[in-house]
Amino acid sequence: MKVETETKPYDTINVTPMLDLAYVLLVIFIIMTTASVQGLKINLPKPSNKPSQVQKEVRIVQIMPDGALLLNGSPVTSAELESRLAAAIAKDPETPVMIKGDPLANYVSVVEIIDMAGRLNIGNVGLVTARIGT
Protein backbone atom coordinates (compact mmCIF):
# COMPACT_ATOMS: atom_id res chain seq x y z
CA MET A 1 0.00 0.00 0.00
CA LYS A 2 1.21 3.19 -1.00
CA VAL A 3 0.24 6.27 0.93
CA GLU A 4 -0.56 9.13 -1.23
CA THR A 5 0.59 12.48 -0.02
CA GLU A 6 -0.96 15.48 -1.47
CA THR A 7 1.07 18.55 -1.76
CA LYS A 8 -1.19 21.49 -1.09
CA PRO A 9 -0.04 25.04 -1.14
CA TYR A 10 -0.17 26.84 2.19
CA ASP A 11 -3.38 28.79 2.73
CA THR A 12 -1.88 31.15 5.35
CA ILE A 13 1.50 32.69 6.03
CA ASN A 14 3.09 32.27 9.42
CA VAL A 15 3.70 35.88 10.60
CA THR A 16 5.24 35.00 13.99
CA PRO A 17 8.86 35.32 12.82
CA MET A 18 8.03 38.62 11.12
CA LEU A 19 6.47 39.97 14.35
CA ASP A 20 9.50 38.83 16.34
CA LEU A 21 11.73 40.77 13.98
CA ALA A 22 9.49 43.87 14.23
CA TYR A 23 9.60 43.79 18.04
CA VAL A 24 13.38 43.42 18.07
CA LEU A 25 13.74 46.36 15.69
CA LEU A 26 11.34 48.43 17.82
CA VAL A 27 13.35 47.74 20.98
CA ILE A 28 16.60 48.64 19.22
CA PHE A 29 15.02 51.86 17.93
CA ILE A 30 13.80 52.84 21.42
CA ILE A 31 17.19 52.15 23.00
CA MET A 32 19.08 54.08 20.34
CA THR A 33 16.68 57.05 20.51
CA THR A 34 16.84 57.40 24.30
CA ALA A 35 20.62 56.98 24.26
CA SER A 36 21.00 59.87 21.83
CA VAL A 37 18.62 62.13 23.79
CA GLN A 38 20.60 61.70 27.01
CA GLY A 39 23.59 63.33 25.38
CA LEU A 40 21.67 66.48 24.38
CA LYS A 41 23.40 69.66 25.56
CA ILE A 42 21.53 72.88 26.24
CA ASN A 43 23.06 76.25 27.03
CA LEU A 44 20.89 77.71 29.79
CA PRO A 45 21.03 81.41 30.65
CA LYS A 46 23.12 82.21 33.68
CA PRO A 47 21.68 84.34 36.49
CA SER A 48 23.12 87.77 36.98
CA ASN A 49 24.49 88.98 40.29
CA LYS A 50 22.14 91.93 40.52
CA PRO A 51 18.49 91.39 41.52
CA SER A 52 16.04 91.53 38.65
CA GLN A 53 13.40 93.36 40.66
CA VAL A 54 13.72 95.43 43.75
CA GLN A 55 11.55 94.09 46.55
CA LYS A 56 9.10 96.73 47.69
CA GLU A 57 8.23 97.06 51.33
CA VAL A 58 4.67 95.87 51.83
CA ARG A 59 2.45 97.81 54.20
CA ILE A 60 0.10 95.43 56.03
CA VAL A 61 -2.93 97.01 57.66
CA GLN A 62 -4.56 94.72 60.21
CA ILE A 63 -8.03 95.30 61.57
CA MET A 64 -8.54 93.68 64.95
CA PRO A 65 -11.91 92.39 66.26
CA ASP A 66 -12.30 95.42 68.55
CA GLY A 67 -11.67 97.82 65.61
CA ALA A 68 -8.05 98.61 66.53
CA LEU A 69 -5.69 99.16 63.59
CA LEU A 70 -2.16 97.83 63.20
CA LEU A 71 0.31 98.93 60.53
CA ASN A 72 2.99 96.24 60.09
CA GLY A 73 2.27 95.08 63.66
CA SER A 74 2.38 98.53 65.31
CA PRO A 75 -0.85 100.00 66.70
CA VAL A 76 -1.97 103.21 64.96
CA THR A 77 -5.02 105.42 64.88
CA SER A 78 -6.95 106.03 61.69
CA ALA A 79 -5.36 109.48 61.24
CA GLU A 80 -1.84 108.10 61.82
CA LEU A 81 -2.52 105.30 59.38
CA GLU A 82 -3.61 107.73 56.70
CA SER A 83 -0.57 109.98 57.20
CA ARG A 84 1.87 107.04 57.19
CA LEU A 85 0.32 105.55 54.06
CA ALA A 86 0.38 108.97 52.36
CA ALA A 87 4.07 109.32 53.23
CA ALA A 88 4.83 105.84 51.89
CA ILE A 89 2.97 106.53 48.66
CA ALA A 90 4.70 109.90 48.27
CA LYS A 91 8.04 108.14 48.62
CA ASP A 92 7.14 105.26 46.24
CA PRO A 93 3.81 105.32 44.33
CA GLU A 94 4.06 101.55 43.69
CA THR A 95 4.09 100.63 47.40
CA PRO A 96 1.79 97.64 47.93
CA VAL A 97 -0.77 97.81 50.72
CA MET A 98 -2.37 94.65 52.09
CA ILE A 99 -5.52 94.80 54.18
CA LYS A 100 -6.00 91.95 56.64
CA GLY A 101 -9.32 92.04 58.43
CA ASP A 102 -9.94 89.72 61.35
CA PRO A 103 -12.96 87.44 60.74
CA LEU A 104 -14.61 88.86 63.86
CA ALA A 105 -13.95 92.49 62.88
CA ASN A 106 -16.74 94.73 61.71
CA TYR A 107 -16.83 94.78 57.91
CA VAL A 108 -17.38 98.55 57.92
CA SER A 109 -13.82 98.96 59.24
CA VAL A 110 -12.45 97.05 56.26
CA VAL A 111 -14.47 99.19 53.84
CA GLU A 112 -13.19 102.37 55.54
CA ILE A 113 -9.58 101.27 54.98
CA ILE A 114 -10.35 100.45 51.34
CA ASP A 115 -11.93 103.91 50.93
CA MET A 116 -8.85 105.48 52.56
CA ALA A 117 -6.64 103.69 50.03
CA GLY A 118 -8.84 105.07 47.25
CA ARG A 119 -8.56 108.63 48.60
CA LEU A 120 -4.77 108.30 48.73
CA ASN A 121 -4.71 106.96 45.12
CA ILE A 122 -3.03 103.71 46.18
CA GLY A 123 -3.12 101.52 43.10
CA ASN A 124 -1.63 98.36 44.58
CA VAL A 125 -4.13 97.22 47.24
CA GLY A 126 -4.77 93.61 48.21
CA LEU A 127 -6.95 91.76 50.66
CA VAL A 128 -5.33 89.04 52.75
CA THR A 129 -7.57 85.99 53.11
CA ALA A 130 -7.28 82.61 54.76
CA ARG A 131 -8.42 79.21 53.63
CA ILE A 132 -11.68 77.97 55.03
CA GLY A 133 -11.04 75.54 57.85
CA THR A 134 -7.62 76.85 58.83
User: What predicted TM-score, i.e. pTM, was given to this entire model?
Assistant: 0.55
Neighbours of 27 (CB within 10 A): 10
d(CA 121, CA 89): 8
The stretches of the chain forming alpha helices (DSSP H) are 16-38, 78-91, 107-119
d(CA 56, CA 86): 16
Domain that holds residue 86: 59-127
Task: Indicate if the pLDDT at residue 9 is higher than 60.
Answer: yes
Residue 5, in any domain of the structure: no
Residues 69 and 75 sit within 8 Å (Cβ to Cβ): yes
Residue 39, in any domain of the structure: no
CATH number of the CATH domain containing 101: 3.30.420.270
- pLDDT band at 32, cuts 50/70/90? confident
Residues 61 and 69 sit within 8 Å (Cβ to Cβ): yes
Per-residue pLDDT tens digits for 46-105: 776 766 566 678 888 888 888 888 888 888 988 898 898 888 888 888 888 888 888 888
- pLDDT band at 39, cuts 50/70/90? low
Residue 70, in any domain of the structure: yes
Task: Indicate if the pLDDT at residue 6 is higher than 80.
Answer: no
Count of structural domains within the chain: 1
